[in-house]
Amino acid sequence: MNVDTIISKLNWFYSLELNQVDLYHVQSKTFNGRYSGVVFERCAYIEQNHVDNIGEKIKGLGGKPTVLGDIISSIIGKLAGELISMTSLEDTLAINIMLEQKAMKDYNDLIQKLHQEDNEDNDDLIKILQHNFVDEHLHTEWFRTKIIAIKQYEFTAKHFRAGTKIQPESQSREDIPKNPICSPKRAKIIKPRPIKTVKW
């Protein structure tokens, strides 16, 4: 892979990470005063580190960090303004998962291509990409866990009132929903997905 191709791919990540910084900043303000708001603030800080380390690497390769436009809209098919107007935490987390998974897939693809070249000059870049990948993975798992917690709370609030006595020994298996935590709509999003293609 020649230097120009690497710079082009890094500018894609640079743009995506910059878009994510802006999005997480807005989300932290939208959910200000809640724990999730603090998490989004922290995510923005970590994504800014990605912007910085990718930008520095682009410069080190003789390129110029370039914003390619609104990357987020092309990934999820929504304008940034529509995302900002979202008030549901669950919908916000679902969108975030989609973005983080796209970043993870692209990081993983580039890491594998660089590994295949077996060029020691790529070692520093590979390490940067691996660290960024791990951060995206951690964000995704927190978002997924939070959606599960929301679903558990909604189920409990809907099916059990304060003072309800639960008698499991007299409750038939037919009375228990097969999947009380997640709806079919969300099941695909929150289902844990092992990262089978990571070979580094």
Angle between helices 123-159 and 35-60 (to 10 degrees): 160
pLDDT for position 111: 96
Classify residue 150: in a domain, yes or no. yes
Find, among 51, 66, 49, 50, the residue nearest to 4 by Cα: 66
Classify residue 73: in a domain, yes or no. yes
Question: What's the pLDDT tens digit per position in 103-138?
Answer: 999 999 999 999 998 788 899 999 999 999 999 999
Classify residue 24: in a domain, yes or no. yes
How many CB atoms neighbour CB 193 within 10 A?
A: 13
Confidence of residue 69 (pLDDT cuts 50, 70, 90): confident
* Domain housing 33: 3-161+177-190
Angle between helices 3-30 and 123-159 (to 10 degrees): 30
* Count of domains forming the chain: 1
Q: What is the CATH number of the domain that holds 121?
A: 1.20.1260.10
Confidence of residue 180 (pLDDT cuts 50, 70, 90): very low
How many CB atoms neighbour CB 20 within 10 A?
A: 25
Classify residue 168: in a domain, yes or no. no
Classify residue 197: in a domain, yes or no. no
Mean pLDDT of 38-61: 97
Classify residue 62: in a domain, yes or no. yes
Positive or negative CA dihedral for 92, 95, 97, 103?
Answer: negative
Find, among 70, 64, 63, 65, the residue nearest to 20 by Cα: 70
Mean per-residue pLDDT of the chain: 81
Task: Give the N- to C-terminal CA distance of the chain in Å, as an integer.
Answer: 18
Classify residue 195: in a domain, yes or no. no
Q: What is the pTM of this model?
A: 0.75
Q: Cα–Cα distances in Å, from 168 out to 107, 158, 173, 197?
A: 47, 18, 9, 42
Classify residue 167: in a domain, yes or no. no
